[in-house]
A and B are shown apart, each in its own frame.
Chain A
Amino acid sequence: MKIKTILAAGAMTVAAVAAHNAQAGAVLDGIKAKGFVQCGVNTGLPGFSSANAEGKWEGIDVDICRGIAAAVLGDANSVQYTPLTAAQRFTALQSGEIDILSRNTTATTTRDAKLGLTFVGINYYDGQGFLIPKALGVTSATELDGATVCVEPGTTTELNLADYFRAKGMSFEPVVIENINEATAAFFSGRCDVYTTDASGLASIRTTMAENPDDYVILPEIISKEPLGPVVAQGDEQWSDVARWSFLAMVEAEEFGVTMGNVDDMKANSTNPGIQRLLGVSPGMGEALGLDEEWAYRIIKNVGNYGESYEKNVTAKLGLERGINALWTDGGLQYAWPVR
């Protein structure tokens, strides 16, 4: 793991020397030239990004990359995945090793302003929680004084954890393990009393990695705000626009009721000017982004709208309802900027 980080740092220097990174349009041109999108994903978090039995990557974070590939290259499968740990992810992006990082990453001031990153949207509103064996009889996070807590390093989770216990005047002992598989194994072997990460991640770990999911509970307290979303490197505004609007088009499509199934019909018959703009019937949007006019049509045709992606990955695999990730019209937070 250390070696990877050092390699990444070396790559960073080399990439910096190459000095192609910061030119506007360079990333998009590079993707068109090489014929695929290089996408940084989680090493394995079912529902967000994980490889299935056939070795194909799937999840809502993966769908972001698939959508962009469909918009830019016309084929949602033209994506190469780079699985990254939390600690490796930003270096990989800064060095230009990946084009986009879509790995349940929390948007924060430091990351946005100091690390040279641009968050292009929030595809999952989350919050940090605690997973604990039922046998311990704990019902609230306020009873966790003195607990041993397993946590991944290089995450906002690690900082929130320290903040929360400090604010409550409680103490804890952290066990910090970089690889999520080693970390969860340590938790399930009883090394820690508690595992902490984003609530969605806890649900994923509980349903997919626990021997018997019913032996574990997620405590009711959500101790932080974790707006998770895709990230690109700063300096190429055209590329961040493409990434941002590829995601927003999926949300916009859900608002308009455009789905994978009816997108052809909508394209042929809809008289709604908003849908016509989105699907390129009335031109202009694609050109503005430096793409062709069918960019959004292809995203929805190949990947589906935001609701479909959520249903297929998060609800079906983790049993999590939409909650605050519902559309604003349903009382949630997902709100697409108008495509016009």
Chain B
Amino acid sequence: MSKPQHAHGDVRSKSFVDYLNDENVRAVLYQVIAIGLIILAGWYLVSNTLNNLEKQNISTGYGFLDLEASFEIGESMIDYSAKSDYATALLVGLLNTVKVSVLGIILCTLIGTIFGVARLSSNWIVRKLATAYVETFRNIPVLLQLFFWYALIPSAFPHPRDALEPLPGVLLTSRGMYLPVPVADNAYTLMGIAAIIALVVILFVKSWAKKRQDATGQPFPMFLAGLGIFVGFVFLAYLIGGAPTEMSIPALKGFNIRGGYNISPEFLAVLIGLTVYTSTYVAEVVRSGIQAVPNGQWEAADSLGVRRSVALRKVILPQSMRVAIPPLTNQYLNLTKNSSLAVAVGYPDLVSVSNTTMNQTGQAIEAISIFMSIYLGLSLLTSLFMNWFNKKMALVER
């Protein structure tokens, strides 16, 4: 059997019009035209912008990153002073953003899970309290919540001179919270390395234990063993490092409290604000995840005599995770992106530092392009990790 056009004969070679009428050719052609137009528009925008910036005598390029920043930043996880360059300043901002985002994600997951489970509690008071919490904090814009916490913290606590001391060495003031910390010593670096080694060892032991259980059915007390390995390694490193005991205790000196580790009101306001706000969404995700697990699973666990709390942990939550992880990823991304509101309460996050940089150098487009790509990168990283986690948690078809 031959195709219809063959009936008309192969003599006539395909004309240009025939090509245009070919579905496959058309599909490719349209895409080429669309991409071409996008590239053209992009090129037009970029070249015109550069051209006009030049006409207005606004300098362009990323050369400013090597210049001295000459402004101070309130809190930094790395060495920074006004003598450092703009690139270092932006790195400080990035690390501050990561710090508040990571802590926020961990805390909002914990708090959100508790409230999500509590919303389904059989206890009337617990259930209603959880509902009130979720409905209140979910329905107030997060920026206003940040303002609220930032107005509350400095005015709720006394001036450093009259600092509250709820625990020995821990100070609460209008300038934030001060904690005693060990004075830096090589032993602590050693302990960090030991902790990483311990984790690797635990992974090996775990895979061995799983193999043994699969082969012999004998369970292995992995949690206790892991804890033992971890504590043992770290403590050994501490002893090898000379067992330093010197502590940096916060105390009033001059204007401020010196020594110890300071958790600033700005950081606290952002962390509390983001955590509380996002935890309400996490609570809803967890609740819907649990409710998505068929009731039969509860009943099955019940009929086997499994306690309700154990059933929740071992039967229901693992299954609800499959439903919950994708929307949870959204909430983590939202939290990371919302952390850019920190600029409103003076927490030196990436946007805050970029804003200052932009103003001192006048490189608005460059600075914005830097922080937009960083946020994009952070979000993609979070997505990648959560996708991997999702795959891992997904039902394994046997």
Which A residues are closer than 8 A to B by beta carbons?
A: 1-2, 5-6, 8-9, 12-13, 15-17, 19, 21-22, 86-87, 90-91, 94, 110-111, 113-116, 136, 144-148, 153-155, 158-159, 161-163, 165-166, 172-179, 182-183, 185-186, 189-191, 193, 233-235
Cβ B49 vs Cβ A13 within 8 A = yes
In the complex, what's the smallest C-beta–C-beta distance from B360 to chain A, in angstroms? 7
Cα of A116 to Cα of B57 in the assembled complex, Å: 5
Closest to B340 in A: A2
Of B7-15, B113-121, B272-280, B346-354, the one with at least 4 CB within 8 A of chain A: B346-354
B29 at the interface (CB under 8 A from A): no
Supposing A94-B58, A182-B344 touch, asked if A111 and B254 sit within 8 A by C-beta, the answer is no
Contact between B256 and A147, CB atoms less than 8 A apart:
yes
Least CB separation from A133: chain B residue: B159
CB–CB B52/A162 < 8 A: no
Q: Judging by beta carbons under 8 Å apart, are B57 and A176 in contact?
A: no
Interface residues of B, dominant DSSP: helix
Closest to B371 in A: A2
Is B74 engaged at the interface, CB distance under 8 Å to the other chain? Answer: yes
Q: Give, as a whole number of angstroms, the nearest-CB distance from A166 to chain B.
A: 6
- Measured CB to CB, the closest approach of chain A to B359, in angstroms, equals 3
Distance in angstroms between the alpha carbons of A144 and B159 in the assembled complex: 17
Mask: chain B, 140-168; 1 = CB below 8 Å from A; 0 = not: 00000001001100110001000000000
- A235 and B56 in contact, given A16-B49, A175-B346 (Cβ under 8 angstroms): yes
User: What are 30 A-B pairs at a CB distance below 8 A?
Assistant: A1-B355, A2-B340, A5-B355, A6-B368, A8-B364, A9-B365, A13-B49, A17-B44, A21-B52, A21-B56, A87-B356, A87-B359, A90-B362, A110-B362, A113-B57, A116-B53, A147-B256, A153-B355, A154-B358, A158-B71, A162-B72, A175-B74, A176-B356, A183-B346, A189-B154, A189-B174, A190-B154, A190-B174, A191-B154, A235-B57
Query: Within 8 Å CB of B368, what residues of A?
Result: 5-6, 9
CB atoms of B56 and A1 under 8 A apart: no
Complex interface: chain B residues within 8 A of A183 (CB): 346
B258 to A, closest residue via Cβ: A146
The answer to whether the Cβ of B73 comes within 8 Å of any Cβ in the partner chain is yes
Contact A178 B355, beta carbon cutoff 8 Å: yes
- What is the bound-complex CA distance between A266 and B355, given in angstroms? 50
| B361 beta carbon closer than 8 Å to chain A | yes
